[in-house]
Amino acid sequence: MTLRAVEAIAEADVVAYHSARHGRSIARSIAARHIRPDHVEEALVYPVTTETTDHPGGYQGAMDEFYEQAAARLAAHLDAGRTVAVLAEGDPLFYGSYMHMHKRLADRYPTEVVPGVTAMAAAAARLGTPLAEGDEVLTVLPGTLPEEELAARLAATDAAVVMKLGRTFPTVRRALERAGRLDEAHYVERATMPGERTADLASVDPGSVPYFAVALLPSRAGALLPGQDRAGRTNPADPMDAAAPADGSAAPGEVVVVGTGPAGPLWLTPESRGALAAADDLVGYATYLDRVPVRPGQRRHRTDNRVEAERAEFALDLARRGRRVAVVSGGDPGVFAMATAVLEASAQPEYDDVPVRVLPGVTAANAAAARAGAPLGHDYATISLSDRLKPWEVIAERLRAAATADLVLALYNPGSRSRTWQVARARELLLELRAPETPVVVARDIGGPDERVRVVPLVDLDPAEVDMRTLLIVGSTQTRTIPRPGTHPLAFTPRTYPAPTGESPPRDGAATAPDPA
């Protein structure tokens, strides 16, 4: 208890506290030695805790009615001129029962809230480990959230505290396992109180967990000394000497190919965010690595954008030495990006025992389409205009085939400093098969500081405004635009498609029925 809390109790005429029907109150037991015989005590007994209720409003109705009645009891003391101290374990405004009194009384009576030591602060102190350090993000979660929501948030954060365990413990444990973080999790029960217990969470019997217990994922950096990696090893100058020899005697780590989306953190999935935070080593093109926060203990290996095969083998070699490696890729790693290079390299016999996972990301095409409206609302084809890895003749053949099929086209890698003619050639080819007024979305640096989106007719597409940071979406014969004052038109491609001339549309409204997928 804080000194101010002790003073507040001494100054009060009435001491109020919540309890279950058995009458025992944790808050009162903490403050018991400061409660005098002349204090008027108000036990605010919950009508229901974990059991069922026959209240017509169900559990929430029963609790709302209880809080109204409890507030009225305290208001009667306040109206009589008495000072009321409401006891709350932990902090009154942090998942505390007092807040229900506060919302009902604080606007009517002078109120002071005395902050308290939270359960998570007490638990971290008992474990002797930092909760969060530097730029790490600490996430506080109620265990009552759905399992998938818990898993997503646990995967995405650096450090976490899960409150309200008890009956939620099995769900929380499964969520930690799904997030790949069960081995990091600690369990603390009744921190600083009689019956305190600490343990590795994975070893705890679910049937033994009370409500007043928390799960902690402490700081990953807090226990590291300068120069140590995530496993507590001192980082050598050469990362290839960081763990065990390359003769296969070391247990392999893992390679995770992570898609960061088209730009910054807003485009990153929780699963990818968690994989980046958990890695010992980050490998990737400098532009993509710069999107990932710097974390203590991690090594960052920057490579040129044109050495994908060498980058992939480097990552796999690190994993053979027991390292957890994240290969960082822009957009989705499986769309013209690093997943193929890593998997192709991993097919070599020496990497047979190295686990490889691919985590999806938001594609540049999806991001550009969302900014422009919904031009990819129907069938579309994705084609790279780069002829560095395939001949232009192949690209031209595919453009003609897709245009003849009346598919919307998402065109990646349209131009660069060394490739300046492909966009003009593609426009000429498409104008042979598409109307001049066909909408084209010109999307540059989506999600970045220089984002720019335009919708222009195909005939007006200017190759000079297209570079490697640009993605083009060429509409089909069905793509439409909606004028919008002060901004670019919105483009969309209807989900219905007209039947060929002379054919009847599908029966039973199938032509306009929602696609169940």
Measure CA 373 to chain center: 25
CA-closest candidate to residue 161, choices 225, 94, 76, 261: 94
Q: Is 75's pLDDT higher than 80?
A: yes
Parallel, antiparallel or unpaired: strands 14-19 and 40-45: parallel
Token couple for 224: 């590291």
CA-closest candidate to residue 346, choices 257, 272, 436, 452: 257
- Per-residue model confidence as pLDDT tens digits over 386-418: 988 899 999 999 999 999 999 999 999 998 777
- Check: CB of residue 101 under 8 Å from CB of residue 31: no
Residue 303 makes CB contacts below 8 A (sequence gap 6+) with 283, 284, 285, 286, 310, 311, 314
- Per-residue model confidence as pLDDT tens digits over 140-193: 999 999 999 999 999 889 899 999 999 999 999 999 999 989 999 999 999 998
Q: At what angle do helices 147-156 and 169-178 cross, to 10 degrees?
A: 50
Phi, psi (deg, nearest 5) at residue 256: -115, 120
Separation of alpha carbons 197 and 212, rounded Å? 11
- Per-residue model confidence as pLDDT tens digits over 110-137: 999 999 999 999 999 999 999 998 888 9
Which residue is associated with the tokens 């979660």? 141
**Burial zone of 425 (CB within 10 Å; 0-12 exposed, 13-18 middle, 19+ buried):** middle
* pLDDT the model gives residue 225: 52
Average pLDDT over residues 426-430: 96
Q: What is the largest CA-CA distance in the chain?
A: 95
Separation of alpha carbons 319 and 355, rounded Å? 8
* pLDDT the model gives residue 243: 44
End-to-end CA distance of the chain: 56
Separation of alpha carbons 173 and 154, rounded Å? 11
- Check: CB of residue 263 under 8 Å from CB of residue 448: yes
Token couple for 52: 């069922």
- Per-residue model confidence as pLDDT tens digits over 291-326: 888 887 889 999 876 678 899 999 999 999 999 999
Separation of alpha carbons 363 and 329, rounded Å? 11
Separation of alpha carbons 443 and 439, rounded Å? 13
Average pLDDT over residues 215-235: 67
Separation of alpha carbons 92 and 103, rounded Å? 12
Average pLDDT over residues 476-488: 93
Mean of per-residue pLDDT scores for the chain = 89
Least confident of 140-154, 172-186, 215-229, 472-486: 215-229
* pLDDT the model gives residue 353: 93
Q: How far is CA 298 from CA 13, 182, 342, in A?
A: 56, 21, 21
DSSP string, 216-244: EE--SSTTPPTTB-TTSPBPPSSGGGSSS
* pLDDT the model gives residue 231: 55
- Check: CB of residue 214 under 8 Å from CB of residue 138: no
Cβ neighbours of 120 (radius 10 Å): 24
CA-closest candidate to residue 199, choices 171, 169, 223: 169
Separation of alpha carbons 485 and 188, rounded Å? 58
pTM above threshold 0.85: no
